[in-house]
Amino acid sequence: MRMRNRGGWTWFFGFRICPLVLAVVAGLAGTRAGDWPQWRGPRCDGVSRESGLSMTWSETQGVAWKCPLPPWGHSTPVAAGGAVFVTSQTSDQRLVLVKINATDGRVEWTREVGAGKAEQVKVHGKSAAERRQQVFPLGENFATPSPATDGTLVVAHFGNGLLAAYDFAGRLLWQRDLQQDYGAYTVWWGHANSPILYQDLVISVCMQDTCADLPGKPSPSYVVAHDKRSGREVWMTPRPSTSSREYSDSYTTPIIAASAHGPWLLVAGAETLDAYEPVSGSRVWYLPELPGNRMIASPVAAAGWVYAVRGKGGPVVAVKLEAAGRRPASDIVWTHEKATPDCPTPVVCNKLLFWVSNNGIANCLDALTGEQCWKERLRGSYRASPLAAEGRIYFVNTDAVTTVVAAERTFRRLAENHLDDTIVASPIASDGKLLLRGQKWLYCLKK
């Protein structure tokens, strides 16, 4: 695992992590070490501290259990307290939250949170009646946002605006409709931003086309926090943008990152990267110099840096977590422009930044200098974000082929594993096991 203490500092995967970072991690949710409580894990970075994870498997080898899922959703599962949660949109348009026993893969309960069908129409047209989302079978549907859990309750968010919390027994604690509260979603390809938990807050984002060129009231973009136990709004911060049409859209999930000034909530979208104080919602700084259309890949932070992908497969940029107010383009320390990702979010491990492009070009860069260490083509196309664990990077393509490579400066392929499914969701690690969510099955892989 390569985690040890030296003089009050913790060393993890080659990075020195100060006690402040550990305090930030503790604030994310009251979960155990083996939990994966939200989309990019307990530290919002796609890195697992689990040991003994599988490196090879197939449909006939290394599968501890597989659970059939209602078709279908693109959300990544979360795991805590001996349970795994997934969301799905059924063939009759029901939006459901499913609790699965993490030990044997048995479905413990299914709750219908709501219903809804995204109409496949253009957002832009000649009338305000065309302010509607459109979705595609392999793109987004209403079960694209991932749930989040603190080990005692689970929060599910769907692309029609429903935000609901349940306890582990399946009792509804509260429910909100964010479209009803704050205005209709007008993001072009369906709302896909996942909520995160921080202390007692559920934090959600909405970044979308204002539709200012259409009749009617402009559609808002915002960051909002609700009390996780009651659903009461704690704060709501508007996030205005100078971008227009699809350039205003973002499908990213916010992250919590440590800085010298305390924890910051980092948000990427509408050609802007900005930071907020997570308890109050006040904006600390913003960097608006990120042209490149809509954003899908979320930011990732490590050791005082944040890495973001400019929209539509634009350049990857590196920025230090410092300063305040409006930040100039000169605050971008380095930029990498070739074979960058559109959907998959990068991951940092061993002071190296890894990503895979949608068409399968994997990259490894020095996280501090931006120097490219290697670039290799992997099999297939990719929508899932890579997972880092035990000095390895797991890349999962849409044909359910997982390529495992060493998290090193020299490319070294360790394994290539095949399953009989279609995968868009990102892999997670929990309690010594890997979990892969496909179109048909939730796979639990055990060494």
Q: Which of 7-16, 50-59, 157-166 shows the lowest per-residue confidence on average (mean pLDDT)?
A: 7-16
Q: Which of 91-100, 207-216, 317-326 shows the lowest per-residue confidence on average (mean pLDDT)?
A: 207-216
Cβ count near 92 (within 10 Å): 8
Q: Which of 24-33, 95-104, 145-154, 244-253 shows the lowest per-residue confidence on average (mean pLDDT)?
A: 24-33
Mean of pLDDT over the chain: 90
Strands 47-48 and 387-389: parallel
Segment 413-429 shows an average pLDDT of 98
Residue (of 147, 149, 155) closest to 425 by Cα position: 147
pLDDT at residue 262, rounded to an integer: 93
pLDDT of residue 148 exceeding 90, the answer is yes
pLDDT band of 118, cuts 50, 70, 90: low
Distance from C-alpha of 1 to C-alpha of 52, rounded to nearest angstrom: 10
Segment 424-440 shows an average pLDDT of 97
pLDDT band of 134, cuts 50, 70, 90: low
pLDDT at residue 91, rounded to an integer: 86
pLDDT tens digits for range 72-89: 899 999 999 999 999 999
pLDDT at residue 10, rounded to an integer: 40
Q: Which of 2-16, 21-35, 379-393 shows the lowest per-residue confidence on average (mean pLDDT)?
A: 2-16
For residue 69, give Cα distances in angstroms to 166, 241, 437: 19, 39, 9
Distance from C-alpha of 42 to C-alpha of 32, rounded to nearest angstrom: 9
pLDDT at residue 131, rounded to an integer: 54
pLDDT at residue 2, rounded to an integer: 34
pLDDT of residue 331 exceeding 60, the answer is yes
pLDDT of residue 30 exceeding 70, the answer is no
Distance from C-alpha of 267 to C-alpha of 165, rounded to nearest angstrom: 23
Q: Which of 225-234, 245-254, 407-416 shows the lowest per-residue confidence on average (mean pLDDT)?
A: 245-254
- Contact between 221 and 248 under an 8 Å Cβ cutoff? The reply is yes
pLDDT band of 122, cuts 50, 70, 90: very low
Cβ count near 221 (within 10 Å): 25
Spell out the domains of the chain, with CATH numbers in brackets.
3-445 (2.130.10.10)
pLDDT of residue 289 exceeding 90, the answer is no
pLDDT of residue 186 exceeding 90, the answer is no
pLDDT band of 3, cuts 50, 70, 90: very low
Cβ count near 391 (within 10 Å): 15
pLDDT of residue 28 exceeding 80, the answer is no
Cβ count near 109 (within 10 Å): 14
pLDDT of residue 164 exceeding 70, the answer is yes
pLDDT of residue 121 exceeding 80, the answer is no
pLDDT band of 18, cuts 50, 70, 90: very low
pLDDT at residue 366, rounded to an integer: 98
Segment 85-104 shows an average pLDDT of 95
Distance from C-alpha of 181 to C-alpha of 176, rounded to nearest angstrom: 8
Instruction: Collapse the DSSP code of 160 into the 3-class scheme (helix H, G, I; strand E, B; otherwise coil) and give the result.
Output: coil
Segment 31-58 shows an average pLDDT of 94
pLDDT of residue 341 exceeding 60, the answer is yes
pLDDT at residue 126, rounded to an integer: 44
Strands 441-445 and 63-68: antiparallel
pLDDT of residue 31 exceeding 80, the answer is no
pLDDT tens digits for range 230-243: 999 999 999 988 88
Q: Which segment, 10-19, 29-38, 177-186, is predicted with the most confidence on average?
A: 177-186
Distance from C-alpha of 83 to C-alpha of 81, rounded to nearest angstrom: 6
pLDDT at residue 156, rounded to an integer: 98
Segment 172-183 shows an average pLDDT of 96
* Percent of residues, the chain, with pLDDT higher than 90: 77
Residue (of 436, 432, 437, 441) closest to 54 by Cα position: 432
Distance from C-alpha of 314 to C-alpha of 306, rounded to nearest angstrom: 16
